[in-house]
Amino acid sequence: MESHIHKHLKKQSLYWLKEKMTDLCANEVKLFVRRKRLKADALGINIKRKEARIIEVKATRADFLRDEVLHANYGYHHIAHYAYIMTPPGLLATEEVPNGYGLLEIDEFDKIIVKKRPVRNPKPILTLDTLVKRTSQAATNALLFQELTKETKDVTEGEFAKGASVQLISATCPTCKKRRKYLVNVDQLEVQCRSRSCKTQIPLQKARMHVITKYNEAFFKQLTKLMSEDRRIKWIKKKWNNKSSLIIRKMRR
């Protein structure tokens, strides 16, 4: 599982590439080289200079030592014109960096400095067109995933999903094309569009539907208990306010 530090460094590497490359950048770019499947942490393309740069993030020494791709003849330095390894300060000595690679260090304030410059590879294994295509795919997938995550994020983290009978979904109406959230049974096949001017029955098996979260009986019991307590508090406040008003009126007399 990816650590929080690695994820953060990967994002910062993308910002650095964007500043340097200006045209096209993406994280987690899938590459296929000599029947090997690789994934570049960050890849940037400069169309005008016709060059590609790859950054491989290493948050720990163990991660660096077990990465055989860095030393292989199909590694990142052989794929792009320039390749870097990005680490926290002091993780690697410059002499430990594999041939051809540059070394970037990022401090606790996300300031990135070049500790060792990379050597330009004049003839990358993959063509620039291929790298542009792969980077574009990764950037598009990242954008779509980000939008979908915003739309379907489960703030309960599945706390009430076990044995659930009701679920909160988002679905797009095939008629008005408006996307809204609906509370439905888990086996429900249709739901009526909530738009005032539409009211179309949305077929959930065909519509673009995503489950946001699910609710089981435990959730409803807790909700009922909380609502009962809330009503009781409101009733007590109302009785107290009425009694206070009566006392005030009597005092005024």
Residue partners of 234: CB distance under 8 A and separation at least 6:
none
> CA-to-CA distance for 128 and 134, rounded, in angstroms?
10
> CA-to-CA distance for 60 and 70, rounded, in angstroms?
15
| 56-100 pLDDT tens trace | 999 999 999 999 999 999 999 999 999 999 999 999 999 999 999
Computed over every residue of the chain, the mean pLDDT equals 87
Average pLDDT (208-237) is 82
At 26 the three-state DSSP class reads strand
Q: In which band, very low, low, confident or very high, does the pLDDT at 106 lie, cut at 50, 70 and 90?
A: very high
Q: 9: which 2 tokens?
A: 């460094």
**pLDDT higher than threshold 60 for residue 247:** no
55 DSSP β-pair partners: 42, 84
> CA-to-CA distance for 174 and 74, rounded, in angstroms?
48
| 7-26 pLDDT tens trace | 899 999 999 999 887 689 99
Q: What is the pLDDT of residue 196?
A: 84
Q: Residue 219 CB: number of other CB atoms within 10 A?
A: 18
| 133-182 pLDDT tens trace | 999 989 888 877 666 666 656 667 778 888 999 999 988 888 888 888 99
Alpha helices in the chain (DSSP H): 4-21, 61-65, 76-79, 128-152, 217-252
Q: Residue 78 CB: number of other CB atoms within 10 A?
A: 18
**pLDDT higher than threshold 60 for residue 250:** no
Residue 237 carries which side chain, given as an amino acid letter?
Answer: K
> CA-to-CA distance for 10 and 87, rounded, in angstroms?
10
Q: What is the pLDDT of residue 177?
A: 81
Residue pointed to by tokens 């200079």: 49
**pLDDT higher than threshold 60 for residue 121:** yes
Q: Where in the chain are the domains? A: 4-148, 154-217
Task: Measure Cα distances from 236 to 226, 233, 241, 245 in Å.
Answer: 15, 5, 9, 14
Q: Residue 69 CB: number of other CB atoms within 10 A?
A: 18
**pLDDT higher than threshold 80 for residue 241:** no
Q: In which band, very low, low, confident or very high, does the pLDDT at 252 lie, cut at 50, 70 and 90?
A: low
H-helix or E-strand spanning residue 29: strand 24-33
**pLDDT higher than threshold 60 for residue 29:** yes
Top-confidence residue, 225 or 16: 16
The least confident of 102-116, 159-173, 199-213, 236-250 is 236-250
Burial of 197 (0-12, 13-18, 19+ CB in 10 A): exposed
